[in-house]
Structure 1
């Protein structure tokens, strides 16, 4: 029960405290890739703690200590009347864990299926109205609004409107299309889908709501950084200014949008990258967030197993 209480307490604290901690300072803008990993790891950590807390109530560590055969037998006994693990509390704990996993899985599947359907419809429209430009490696769409975006998927493609081509210089067009190609190569739509799944599944929890917005912002910063490796930052900034009001489909990733002006300032005045010590600390945080709940849930069972089979060995 101590393990379950620790995991449940951590989950409750994490969903409230972690978004405040992770939002402090400007470190995320200096290392957007690492920041995305930290935010998603924090969400996974909180969710895993919820599930493991319920499982810790349902399956005591002593059950694991009697060996895997007894463990599976005990799991089967949960469904039988009069079994030691068939108490109402155990059934409620297992039901709670199952509901959490089912809710997350359902929301994730719904998001992926709907996004694929919308992208397929948009791709059919592009096949009819757009024209492939091999020199730009993009689809050109006749439209009077300057916009550039990418359509993720198995046959991902970058899209730019004729209005954008007319308003941007050639080097700016190349820079903004490099931004969109970075989205496609990095499969950033999967990162956004993961963050959206956490938020959709548990909409009232601050961590998941904040993570969705942060991941959406950070993937744009990351694509800017990738484009800046081969294109002048000034050209990227100028393109962002001209495309700031351009609207991309909700299921696509656009170069403009609400974060465009903030990204312009970042391109013109880049912050110093994180030092090696800071990056190591960030990677350590990701490791702790992902491995922490698993370790807390598993160690009591491992300790019980060792105590049962090796009477001279004890972790605690």
Structure 2
């Protein structure tokens, strides 16, 4: 009955080593889309280790679960897992991991519910500040202009996503900078970055002591912005989106010697103005394939005893 223990140890090792390797690498800033994929694979592997360990622990603790799990398996396969030799810790492990899974689902549901509530509140506020004209349907305009003294622009996701921009921003944005801002926000919407942010926030809030989930949340916030910057820069140029970022954030004091909130904006502007060369297509493919194998390892560990018994 070593497989559940091995899976938990593998999950802990992945949770520790994965973020450290990514933190020491310089390529995530050059390839944020690949980095987003790698982070998802690392976290998926950790969660999969817990889920598989929970399943095998439950099978060891309760005969009913074992009968369902190995209903069509040969007797030799069942014996290879040595489930009957499990100690009293198997039930406790299964229950603890099951509660962790339920808590994760509850945190994700809460995060999505709160996000939808915030979205409804912002849409209601938008209708108050920019009322519909006679005959105009709500959500038909993809661009909404608000009267405002501070330059600002944001994407309002939903069934009918909209870009909201203030008149001050329109006065500051020149040339194709407005198109670049729109492309940046559309990059968020097309890649469904909101779901990445919700999932990472749910795990980090639900398990604040687990460092890999906190790092996952922080990196998702950073990498989705870099990925959206790249979407805009490929269409309108790096200088255009960099100048747009400066125009929209200069009043927030983020470019001074003591930057305030959104201090990642100067790093984003510097990255756009002094870009590092992208990785080769072969390197990107190898990183993507290697990351995809990370969640496969727990599955292989789980099936090794059964496959060995079938030889």
TM-score over 0.5 (shorter chain)? yes
Evaluate the alpha carbon distance shift between residue 131 and residue 31 of structure 1 in structure 2; reply closer, same or farther with a 3 A threshold.
Answer: farther
Name the residue aligned to 1:193: 198
Q: Deviations over 1:258-313 (max 9, x none)?
A: 32111111111221111133212211232122211122123323444x3xxxxxxx
Deviations along 1:74-121, one digit per CA (max 9) or x if unpaired, are xxxxxxxxxx69974332222122112101100000000110011011
For residues 23 and 189 of structure 1, the distance between their equivalents in structure 2, rounded to whole angstroms, comes to: 23
Unaligned ranges ≥5, structure 2: 75-83, 133-138, 253-260
SS of the residue 1:154 aligns to:
coil
Task: State the 1:126 CA deviation.
Answer: 1.1
Q: Which runs of 5+ in 1 are unaligned?
A: 72-83, 248-255, 307-313
Aligned to 2:79: none
- SS of 2:42's partner is helix
List aligned pairs for 1:253-292, cutoff 5 A: 257-292=262-297
Matched, 1:100 2:112: no
Q: Select 1:167's aligned residue among 167, 172, 180.
A: 172
User: Separation in 1 of the partners of 2:188 and 2:131?
Assistant: 21
Q: Is the 8 A contact 2:11 2:47 kept in 1?
A: yes
TM-score scaled by length of structure 1: 0.81
The DSSP-based 3-state class of the residue aligned with 2:160 is: coil
Aligned to 2:258: none
Contact 1:64 1:302 in 2 (8 A): no
SS in 2 for 1:170: coil
RMSD, aligned α-carbons: 2.8
Partner of 1:56: 56
Render the CA deviation track for 1:131-171: whole Å, top value 9, x for unaligned: 78x9x941112221111111112221111111111111131
Q: C-alpha displacement at 1:13, in angstroms?
A: 2.1
User: 66, 71, 86: which one pairs with 1:68?
Assistant: 71
From the superposition, tell whether residues 38 and 64 of structure 1 become closer, same or farther in structure 2 (CA, over 3 Å): farther
Superposition deviation, residue 245 in structure 1: 5.2
Change (3 A) 1:33 1:154: same
Rounded Cα–Cα distance in structure 2 between residues aligned with 1:86 and 1:291: 25
TM normalised by structure 2 equals 0.82
1:238 aligns with 2:221: no
Q: Look up the match of 1:181.
A: 186
- Count the aligned residue pairs: 284
**Which segment is superposed worse, 85-94 or 280-289?**
85-94
What is the rounded CA distance, in whole Å, between the counterparts of 2:91 and 2:104 in structure 1? 20
Question: Whole-Å Cα distance in 1 between the matches of residues 168 and 306 of structure 2?
Answer: 63
Distance in 2 between residues matched to 1:46 and 1:34, nearest whole Å: 19
**In 2 relative to 1, CA 108–193 (structure 1 residues): closer, same or farther, beyond 3 Å?**
same
| Pair 1:85–1:126, CA change in 2 (3 A) | farther
Which residue in 2 is equivalent to 1:140? 145
Work out the CA distance in 1 between the residues paired with 2:69 and 2:42: 33
> 1: distance between equivalents of 2:207 and 2:69?
36
| Secondary structure of residue in 1 paired with 2:190 | helix
Structure 1 residues 131 and 280, CA, compared in 2 at 3 Å: closer, same or farther?
same
